[in-house]
């Protein structure tokens, strides 16, 4: 349960942090606000998982300890969410790849035999519905937009494609979670996320990149160099001033 909860918590925490980096830098005010609102939802979701894990552990660790006092090797998030924002197109492509998986994942997690997880999933799903809608609309707008926006979003998908495989490839603890009934069978959601992807790429007049060699390792703590830098910023205050509180 521990690793599975960390996977869910870290995915949402790290992507939330990445989106937060856009605050004040969005291409226009409305987009800026949208991205910080998405970030708020994701960080809120991660808190639910961290809180649950802290309770299960019962060692007096809090949600803050879990977010701020672990090193990169202990993070279980998939590599996709830690990838840098790049330009707006790359952020949109990264979010869409994540959202089009996250949505169906949460739908399945609503059937978890763990009541608390099912409740968190049902709550999160409502928010992620809007996330998927937002990123889908932007993929279409950029893909079916100008020559430059089309090129940029296509480049973004080509670049990020290698991180998509990890979303649908279960780590041993996910297989265990699925067979114990509290997790999600990733094979069962694969066709749903593929259909969504095909539909949106088609509407966006984009080409589906070739499935080649896929990156992996995030779920077992082997991360890209980007996560260390992200954590250095995210954890700075707690590391510099231990035990400081609001």
**DSSP string over 85-109:** --SHHHHHHHHHHHHHHHHHHHHHH
Alpha carbons 225 and 230: distance in angstroms, whole number: 9
Least separation in angstroms between CB 185 and another protein:
20
Comparing CB distances to another protein, the nearer of 54 and 79 is: 54
Comparing CB distances to another protein, the nearer of 41 and 166 is: 41
**CA-based nearest residue to 177, from 223, 114, 134:** 114
- Asked if 94 and 80 touch (Cβ cutoff 8 Å), the reply is yes
Comparing CB distances to another protein, the nearer of 118 and 214 is: 118
- Asked if 123 and 166 touch (Cβ cutoff 8 Å), the reply is no
Comparing CB distances to another protein, the nearer of 241 and 246 is: 246
Q: Which residues bind to another protein, rule: CB under 8 A?
A: 30-31, 33-34, 37-38, 40-45, 47-48, 103, 115, 118-120, 122-127, 129-130, 132-134, 137
Comparing CB distances to another protein, the nearer of 141 and 222 is: 141
Least separation in angstroms between CB 45 and another protein:
5
Alpha carbons 202 and 133: distance in angstroms, whole number: 16
Least separation in angstroms between CB 120 and another protein:
6
Least separation in angstroms between CB 114 and another protein:
12
- Asked if 234 and 93 touch (Cβ cutoff 8 Å), the reply is no
Alpha carbons 150 and 89: distance in angstroms, whole number: 9
Least separation in angstroms between CB 29 and another protein:
9
């Amino acid at each position: 349960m521990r690793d599975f909860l960390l996977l869910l918590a870290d995915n949402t925490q790290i992507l939330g942090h990445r989106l937060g980096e856009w605050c004040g830098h969005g291409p226009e005010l409305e987009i800026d606000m949208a991205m910080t609102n998405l970030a708020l939802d994701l960080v809120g979701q991660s808190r639910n998982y961290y809180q649950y894990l802290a309770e299960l552990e019962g060692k007096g660790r809090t949600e803050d300890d879990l977010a701020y006092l672990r090193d990169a090797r202990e993070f279980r998030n998939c590599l996709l969410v830690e990838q840098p924002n790049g330009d707006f197109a790359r952020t949109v492509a990264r979010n869409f790849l994540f959202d089009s998986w996250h949505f169906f994942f949460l739908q399945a997690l609503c059937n978890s035999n763990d009541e608390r997880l099912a409740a968190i999933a049902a709550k999160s799903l409502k928010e992620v519905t809007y996330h998927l809608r937002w990123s889908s609309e932007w993929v279409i707008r950029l893909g079916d937009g100008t020559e430059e926006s089309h090129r940029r979003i296509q480049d973004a998908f080509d670049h990020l494609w290698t991180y998509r495989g990890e979303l649908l490839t279960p780590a041993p603890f996910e297989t265990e979670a699925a067979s114990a009934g509290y997790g999600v069978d990733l094979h069962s959601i694969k066709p749903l996320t593929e259909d969504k992807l095909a539909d949106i790429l088609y509407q966006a007049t984009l080409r589906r990149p070739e499935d080649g060699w896929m990156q992996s390792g995030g779920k077992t703590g082997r991360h890209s160099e980007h996560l260390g830098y992200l954590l250095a910023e995210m954890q700075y205050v707690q590391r510099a001033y231990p035990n400081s509180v609001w």
